[in-house]
Amino acid sequence: MSPLGKGAGVRLRCLGVRCKVTRFLLIALVTAIGCDRPEAPSALMVRGMEYVNSPAARRAAFEASLVNPPNGYSQVRTERYTEERWGALPLWNPPARSIGLGESPPERLDDGQALSYQDVPWTHEALIELGARAFFDYPIQITPALHIAIENPEPYGVVVEGDRLPTLVWTRTDGGIFPALTCASCHADRDQDGRWHAGRTNPNFNYGRLFEDFYGTQSARGRWGPAKVDVTVDGLVNPTVVTDLRPIAHQRYLHRAATLYNDPIALAVRLETLIITATGQVVRPPRKVIFAMALYLWSLADSLPPMPADKAGHAVFERECSGCHGGEGLVGEPIPLETVGTDPWVGLSGSRGTGMYRVPSLRGVGDRTPLFAAGGVSDLEELLDPARAAVGHTYGLALPADERDALLEYLRAL
């Protein structure tokens, strides 16, 4: 990542819990103070500034994002996403650097850098660049089990680049130097030509096996499998596939069970609370960094191939798939679990369940693996194979061979 240039930046401080700065006033302030940008801020940038600076705006965005307020996920956050609880936690922006293959923990981290975000200009381009750096460099979870992956990354699917493990970082805490996961640990992969695909699920990263091997214990984690993680606290073994983040700008809902309505500010709140819970609810991330990450993730849709034109499979897709996967984003409203017919346990979870499954955007599905909320099929070929073992989602299984092949070609191009 290229270094970010320094700019004046705008930092507004709200006085009082119910700060009611209007968007008009925010625009006026940005124009008057200046923040190295030639144009007036967009509505999204204004909303982002409100998220960073206004407790009332953050809380309102959080509450508006809840699909099923009674479930466990929503209840915990309703109680704790306040200025008095999680808002009062100390900021977490420690120095960090990527880990070398086989490297022992350093005694010091003098060569580590904390994210320099305070002086990043409040511009769309600069914030996206900050978000990209945070995606690869910001430590979101201290994970001692990574020590064995540093020595031998292949069994655990950790990406190796030369003599570096670029999706893992050393970071400093009050207790010493530890290895940590970044967003890229699970949500970045390289193709056969070595090109990075930020946001694409790493299909090989096996956190469950890493945990079991490091601690020498047997638990439900050992049954998760690659590219899956169980983030619920419902006492059930119901891991979900790590989400492909590239089409997140097209998604109408967040989480497999459609737990949250999606927009950039709802995504920012989701990222903020994810990091708070992943770090034991003892620290919180800088909100400017979080909004930058949300903007960066939103921009990943631009990395997807253009919609294919005039392919033979388009007509088959329209007939078989567009009832759920429609519009520019090839997405739709959530579907009842019994209609989908796949493994229902994620959607039934008391932690995140809504009784529905999110309809995922099919943009980028051509190289996405595994598929289904619980990873029931590995790829598109298995998805449309009438002999597959996984139940549910029967759309397209009865197609004749020529139409099946045409549909597969079309899906691969998405």
> What are the structural domains of the chain?
51-303 (no CATH), 313-412 (1.10.760.10)
Q: How far is CA 244 from the centre of its chain?
A: 8
Q: 182 and 167 in contact (C-beta within 8 Å)?
A: yes
Per-residue pLDDT, 170: 98
Q: State the first-to-last Cα distance of the chain, in angstroms, to the nearest integer.
A: 27
Q: b/e string for 63-99 if b means 16 or more Cβ within 10 A?
A: eebbbbeebbbbeebeebbbeeebbeeeebbbbbbbb
Collect the ranges in the chain with pLDDT lower than 50: 1-40
pLDDT at 220: 78
The pLDDT value given to residue 41: 58
Compute the distance between CA of residue 154 and CA of residue 171 in angstroms, rounded to an integer: 22
Helix (H, G, I), strand (E, B) or coil at 141: strand
Q: Please state, in angstroms and rounded to a whole number, the distance separating the CA atoms of residues 185 and 167.
A: 5
Please tell me the total number of residues recorded for the chain in this structure. 414
Peptide bond into 370 cis (omega under 30): yes
- Rounded Cα distance between 369 and 285, Å, is 30
Q: Which residues are CB-neighbours of 48 under 8 A, at least 6 positions away?
A: 127, 264, 265, 268, 291, 294, 295
pLDDT at residue number 309: 80
